């Protein structure tokens, strides 16, 4: 199993599939369509049925039931094709066999090092095979590890018909990293009773709570006057933008939050004396606190307008996704099923809230309950990303166990 996982995963990483939040196409980059074509070919080769890639780049396939038992749920397994636009995402993984439990130099030139001091969870992988970045690119375990695990699990089931299972569906989606992963996803056509995204982190992670999420764009209109004659005339948009940010609650920034605590994150700022803009993401697990955070944006804008003049500060707040908990709680048996599958794979379930979001959140609100299961990686979206091959094997076994247990 590990050899097959490594072969597939390494091949997938050779495809650059970075999504682009500024694109006007869907999917946002053509490279995702190219990788989708490869996945279609691979799914057909292993013996999956009804393999398709639609106009939006969604790749889907079916593994028919191999038993006569009735009332077995149809289960989906989902992973996303794209990698985050935070860094370039194509480079061969560094393979460290029998990891010695010490610091790992990723790139000598830039002194990029995976240290135990900064990443103490490395100790959990001593003796295992680690796949790391080269210190300059993303690894892409988020979420090509999930794709490899799903395809390896389906291939194993096809090769071992003695393992009885109901109908299984797989889907690989584009543009998850820019919040558009399932915008065009046809839940009815997919035809599952429930599904799991294989998009979590460390072994054991099982998540059915995620942030409520919104974006906020703040625009400030200034007045640019020659500085030699600016007294009582100049209005510096950049300074007002800085004031706006300073009025947000200091303790509600990501670097000070954990668990269920939400935050405001300034992700982009641009400006001149004449115009300035701030872009934020807003997150909170609690719906009331989430709404209050959005209201806070408006209150600060109103305050600054009263201070500097009407419409000096304008803003747009847009909801992105919601906490899937309310959609999962009525069907908690799907969490129990995943827990049992993990235990039988020798993995201790770690049920925790996602401090982020997945395609599963939007799918749950589209009518497909879809909690998230670990894919095995750490430090996603940056040059310190890594994944254990043994963790990927455990995730694959969890998929196999879910399929088998649901048919018993």
Helix (H, G, I), strand (E, B) or coil at 333: helix
**Could you give the CA distance from residue 215 to residue 127 in angstroms, rounded to a whole number?**
42
Query: What is the pLDDT at residue 1?
Result: 78
pLDDT band at 255 (very low <50, low <70, confident <90, very high): very high
Quote the distance between the C-alpha of residue 119 and its chain's center. 20
- Per-residue pLDDT of 82-136, as tens digits, reads 999 988 778 889 999 999 999 999 999 999 999 999 999 999 999 999 999 999 9
> Is residue 357 scored above 90 in pLDDT?
no
Residue ranges per structural domain of the chain: 2-209+323-407, 212-321
Domain 2-209+323-407 has CATH 3.40.630.10: yes
Query: What is the pLDDT at residue 88?
Result: 79
**Could you give the CA distance from residue 199 to residue 79 in angstroms, rounded to a whole number?**
6
- What is 212-321's CATH topology? Alpha-Beta Plaits (3.30.70)
> Is residue 358 scored above 90 in pLDDT?
no
pTM summary value: 0.88
**For the residues 192-207, what does the mean pLDDT come to?**
96
Query: What is the pLDDT at residue 2?
Result: 80
**For the residues 66-81, what does the mean pLDDT come to?**
95
pLDDT band at 179 (very low <50, low <70, confident <90, very high): confident
Residues labelled catalytic: 82, 176
Query: What is the pLDDT at residue 315?
Result: 98
Q: Tell me the residue ranges of DSSP E strands in 46-116.
A: 49-53, 59-63, 75-80, 94-96, 104-107, 112-114
Quote the distance between the C-alpha of residue 374 and its chain's center. 11
Please report, rounded to a whole number, the percentage of residues in the chain having pLDDT higher than 70: 100
Please report, rounded to a whole number, the percentage of residues in the chain having pLDDT higher than 90: 93
**Could you give the CA distance from residue 340 to residue 206 in angstroms, rounded to a whole number?**
11
pLDDT band at 270 (very low <50, low <70, confident <90, very high): very high
């Amino acid at each position: 199993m590990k050899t097959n996982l490594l072969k597939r995963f390494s091949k997938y990483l050779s495809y650059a599939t970075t999504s682009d939040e500024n694109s006007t196409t869907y999917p946002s980059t053509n490279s995702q369509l190219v990788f989708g074509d490869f996945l279609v070919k691979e799914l057909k080769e292993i013996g999956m049925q009804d393999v398709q890639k639609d106009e939006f780049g969604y790749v889907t396939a079916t593994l028919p039931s191999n038993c006569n038992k009735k009332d077995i749920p149809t289960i989906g397994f989902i992973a996303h094709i794209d990698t985050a636009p935070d860094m370039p995402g194509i480079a061969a993984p560094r393979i460290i066999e029998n990891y010695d439990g010490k610091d790992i130099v990723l790139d000598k030139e830039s002194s990029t090092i995976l240290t135990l001091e900064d990443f103490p969870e490395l100790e959990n992988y001593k003796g295992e095979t680690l796949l790391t970045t080269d210190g300059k690119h993303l690894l892409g375990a988020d979420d090509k590890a999930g794709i490899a695990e799903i395809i390896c699990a389906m291939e194993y089931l096809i090769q071992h018909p003695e393992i009885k299972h109901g109908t299984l569906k797989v889907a690989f989606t584009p543009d998850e990293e820019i919040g558009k992963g399932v915008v065009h996803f046809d839940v009815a056509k997919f035809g599952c009773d429930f599904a799991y995204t294989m998009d979590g982190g460390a072994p054991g992670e099982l998540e059915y709570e995620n942030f409520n999420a919104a974006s906020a764009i703040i625009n400030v209109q200034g007045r640019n006057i020659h500085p030699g004659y600016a007294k009582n005339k100049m209005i510096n948009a950049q300074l007002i933008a800085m004031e706006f940010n300073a009025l947000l609650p200091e303790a509600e920034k990501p670097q000070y939050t954990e668990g269920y605590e939400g935050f405001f994150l300034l992700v982009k700022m641009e400006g001149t004396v004449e115009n300035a803009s701030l872009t934020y993401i807003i997150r909170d697990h609690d719906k009331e606190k989430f709404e209050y955070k959005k209201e806070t944006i408006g209150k600060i804008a109103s305050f600054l307008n009263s201070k500097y003049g009407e419409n000096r500060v304008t803003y747009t707040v847009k909801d992105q996704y919601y906490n899937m908990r309310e959609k999962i709680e009525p069907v908690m048996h799907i969490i129990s099923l995943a827990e049992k599958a993990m235990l039988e794979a020798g993995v201790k379930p770690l049920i925790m809230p996602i401090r982020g979001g997945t395609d599963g959140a939007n799918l749950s609100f589209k009518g497909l309950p879809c909690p998230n299961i670990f894919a095995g990686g750490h430090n996603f979206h940056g040059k310190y990303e890594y994944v254990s091959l043994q963790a990927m094997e455990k995730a694959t076994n969890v998929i196999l166990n879910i399929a088998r247990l649901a048919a018993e």
